[in-house]
Amino acid sequence: MIKKVVPNAQAAVDGIADGMTVMFGGFGLCGIPENAIAAVRATGVTGLTCISNNAGVDGFGLGLLLETRQVRKMISSYVGENDEFERQMLSGELEVELIPQGTLAERCRAAGAGIPAFYTPAGYGTEVAEGKEVRIFNGKPHILEHAFDAQFAFVKAWKGDEAGNLVFKGTARNFNPMMAMAGRITVAEVEELVPAGTLDPNSIHVPGIFVHRIFQGDHFEKRIEQRTVRPRA
């Protein structure tokens, strides 16, 4: 069996370099690969193009890479919770590509399925469609979107085994399975790493064939992006 287990996050991000395109799983702060993000920050690489549903928050998640100016471009569908992101975007320091969330998901899935491009009606008639090919299907205009091409995909799972099989928990599943299938090198950090053969085959969400490196994280912070409470009666 190919050896996929690495000792820590630092070993898992080996090979990342300036100017690369990288994917980060998660939705909001749920299911983000926080150990991998911290390790990427520690490498000091710059000029990254980051593909992620959102840009984290100030001081956490991808917000850590924005703080240190390691991100050149963000490709996301939602970016509303990060003041530093807003400042960099409005000042022109950061290039931003905002795309519909379904298109983001499909560009990830298409990459994993080996589909180079596809047509979608989402975004037609808006800035999203500028410069893109348009075709009519069933009387409705669709725009051409291309699959992502990322050198690394960093994902977070609840459990994983030494063969790279992954199981996600609840909504932390989100973009992680699609991105795990899409990276040229997929790095999975897990809360619990178990021997191969331990996981129920019927419960595996991502087969190990898609995962190149796996490690057990040593720190996970359960944050709430927007805490909303009601006053006491």
For the question of whether the overall pTM of this predicted structure is more than 0.85, the answer is yes
Tell me the per-residue pLDDT of 150-207, one tens digit each, with 9 for 90 and over: 999 999 999 999 999 999 999 999 999 999 999 999 999 999 999 999 999 999 999 9
DSSP codes joined into one string, 208-232 = GGG-SEEEE-S------SS---PPP
Residue 41 token pair: 């920050």
Q: What is the CATH number of domain 9-116+148-216?
A: 3.40.1080.10
* Amino acid identity for residue 184 in this structure: R
Percent over 70 (pLDDT), the chain: 98
pLDDT number for residue 232:
83
pLDDT at 53 over 80: yes
Q: Which of 117, 82, 107, 87 is nearest to 23 (CA)?
A: 107
Q: At CA 76, angle to CA 73 and CA 80, rounded to 5?
A: 105
Q: Running DSSP on this structure, what letter comes out for residue 62?
A: T
Q: What is the pLDDT of residues 20-30, one digit of tens each?
A: 999 999 998 89
How much is the average pLDDT of 47-54? Answer: 96
Task: Tell which residue, 152, 148, 225, has the closest CA to residue 189.
Answer: 152
Which residue would you say has higher pLDDT here, 79 or 14? 14
Other CB atoms within a 10 A radius of the CB of residue 153 amount to 33
pLDDT (0 to 100) of residue 219: 76
Give the model confidence (pLDDT) of 94-149 as tens digits. 999 999 999 999 999 999 999 999 999 999 999 999 999 999 999 999 999 999 99
Torsion, Cα 65 68 73 78, to 10 degrees, reads: 50
